[in-house]
């Protein structure tokens, strides 16, 4: 008689506000649209600073002010959203993650969720956390700080073997970036002339 045993990893964790904030930072820097916005913001701030040192602050174009305030608004919204996300009662509950080769199980005081590995769309692993995405906007956050090396290798092996990454639409993303760039150049030319 052959008995097959499957390995099971159990992690108990409390998510902190810093964990939620770092998740949002790691998620945001992997989005394509943040880089053109950041570039425009740096250019706008550089323009404002150069005009300030030249004593011509009143000659800063209106679109430079608009892009500067727009980016600052996005940052403020980002911080408010991170705080609001952490205030969610579900996030503050103690979580127990059970990880096997077949499924991922999340248990809290209010809910139990069992997810098969093929239902995850992607994952991100950092030094402190692993993020398992069910959709593009929803993820499970697993703290890795208390894991032994063998447990970490087990988890990473399951992720690499069972979570199929989404195919990225590189050409579509490139076309959108190019269109956004051309639109931006057109707007700048329109307002400057």
Contacts of 83 (CB under 8 A, 6+ apart): 17
In the block, which residue shows the tokens 């919204």?
77
Report the predicted TM-score, pTM, of the whole model to 2 decimal places: 0.66
Percent of the chain with pLDDT over 70: 92
Question: Could you give the CA distance from residue 84 to residue 174 in angstroms, rounded to a whole number?
Answer: 33
Q: What is the mean pLDDT of the segment spanning 26-30? A: 77
- Under 8 Å between Cβ of 102 and 79: no
**For the segment 45-71, what is each residue's pLDDT rounded down to a tens digit?**
888 898 888 888 888 888 888 888 888
SS3 content of the chain, % helix, strand, coil (to 5): 55, 20, 30
Domain extent listing, the chain: 9-188
Q: Which CATH architecture has domain 9-188?
A: Roll (2.30)
- Four-CA torsion 30, 16, 96, 136, nearest 10 degrees: -20
Using DSSP bridges, classify how beta strands 9-13 and 95-99 pair: parallel, antiparallel or unpaired.
Answer: antiparallel
State the pLDDT confidence band at 1, using cuts at 50, 70 and 90.
very low
Closest CA to 23 of 142, 115, 110, 103: 142
Q: What is the mean pLDDT of the segment spanning 86-106? A: 83
Question: Could you give the CA distance from residue 107 to residue 191 in angstroms, rounded to a whole number?
Answer: 55
Q: Report the mean per-residue pLDDT for the chain.
A: 81
């Amino acid at each position: 008689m052959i008995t097959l045993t499957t390995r099971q990893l159990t992690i108990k964790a409390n998510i902190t506000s810093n964990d939620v904030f770092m998740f949002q930072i790691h998620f945001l820097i992997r989005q394509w649209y943040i880089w053109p916005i950041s570039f425009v913001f740096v250019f706008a701030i550089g323009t404002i600073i150069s005009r300030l040192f030249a004593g011509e602050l009143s000659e800063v174009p209106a679109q430079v002010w608009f892009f500067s305030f727009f980016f600052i608004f996005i940052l403020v919204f980002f911080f408010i959203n991170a705080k609001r996300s952490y205030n969610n009662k579900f996030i503050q509950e103690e979580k127990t993650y059970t990880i096997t080769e077949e499924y991922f199980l999340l248990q809290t005081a209010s809910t139990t969720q069992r997810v098969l590995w093929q239902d995850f769309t992607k994952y991100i692993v950092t030094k402190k956390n692993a993020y398992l995405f069910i959709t593009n906007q929803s993820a499970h956050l697993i703290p890795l700080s208390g894991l032994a090396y063998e447990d970490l290798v087990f988890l990473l092996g399951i992720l690499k073997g069972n979570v199929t990454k989404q195919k990225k639409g590189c050409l579509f993303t490139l076309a959108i970036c190019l269109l956004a760039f051309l639109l931006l150049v057109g707007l700048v030319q329109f307002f400057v002339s």
